[in-house]
Amino acid sequence: MSIPANLKYTKDHEWVSLEGDVATVGITHFAQKELGDIVYVEVETLDQTLDKDEVFGTVEAVKTVSDLFLPLAGEIIEFNDALESAPETVNSDPYGAGWMIKIKVADVADYDTLLSSEAYKELIGA
């Protein structure tokens, strides 16, 4: 199972990369595998400022709908529009083209509070 070492993770199975004060967020390989075939990604919080752990959207698979939780406080500045026509990209490339949102992070230091790849592996028993 792919768990890139250059990313940070949450207990809710989101991954985060940070460039400057902009974080890119998606769901992990483990999460997409558990959900199954993803048929829809909904993010209605674009241009909103949310706190860490608030719901920023949902991901819908064939058998279930799951909330998406914001890993860092900040303003949601971009949604991956490609997921509207190809939500299955989250299954095929969760750490690349399957990213979901970009956030202008309120406090960059909060990034260091997220799980390392090693800690995330322990969490999921990988």
Helices (H), 1-126: 29-35, 82-85, 89-92, 117-124
Which parts of the chain have pLDDT scores under 70? none
Smallest CA-to-CA distance from 41 within 82, 72, 95, 92 is with: 82
* The model scores a pTM over 0.75: yes
Q: What are phi and psi of 54, to 5 degrees?
A: -75, 150
CATH node for 8-106 = 2.40.50.100
Closest CA to 70 of 83, 52, 82, 88: 52
Q: What is the pLDDT of residue 2?
A: 84
